[in-house]
Amino acid sequence: MRYMYKPTIITCIVTCFVCACFFFACSKKADQVSSPANFVPPGITTDNVTYTNYVSIILKNNCSTCHGLDGSAAHYWYNNATYDNAVLNGRRIMETIVENSMPPVPRKPFSEDDKALLIAWIDRGSPE
């Protein structure tokens, strides 16, 4: 007579644990992404917004993950973190943010204050 494998309680517990790890590791946790209400530093207004005091920070903190070196979306626009690159692509960047097509879910869209600063930066001639 052949030996039949009988699962033990330990085998069952280990199997359940491994399955639970895979389930929770692969589940989407969009509601756990937290962002501040806006990214506007104190004292920055539509009258004094520049690349240095606001735009560079926004691009670095919100765009470089996907649009930076080895990012999944670098082929759409590559953020090399320079003023010239921001000026060259500024209008397109601003439009995608204002239209809420960027950033993608689960990231929270930019606030109206952030959008107003990006528009003001472009309208003021993209000061450095």
Q: What pLDDT is stored for residue 74 in this prediction?
A: 82
Q: What is the dihedral of CA 41, 46, 51, 52, to 10 degrees?
A: -40
Q: Which residues of the chain have pLDDT under 70?
A: 1-7, 9-36
Structure tokens at 103: 């950033």
Residue 92's domain comprises 32-123
Residue 2 in domain: no
Q: 15-34 in b/e burial notation, b at 16+ Cβ within 10 A?
A: eeeeeeeeeeeeeeeeeeee
Domain-located, residue 23: no
Q: Residue 79 carries which DSSP code?
A: -
CA-wise closest residue to 59 among 88, 17, 30 = 88
Q: What integer pLDDT is reported at residue 65 of this predicted model?
A: 82
Is 12 inside any structural domain? no
Strand, helix or coil at 117?
A: helix
Using CA atoms, how far apart are residues 16 and 19, in angstroms rounded to an integer? 5
Asked whether residue 45 is domain-assigned, the answer is yes
- The domain tally of the chain equals 1
The answer, as to whether pTM is greater than 0.85, is no
pLDDT of residue 17: 53
| Per-residue 3-state assignment (H helix, E strand, C coil) for 104-115 | CCCCCCCCHHHH
Residue 88 CA to residue 73 CA, distance in Å, equals 17
| Residue 49 to residue 117: CA distance in whole angstroms | 7
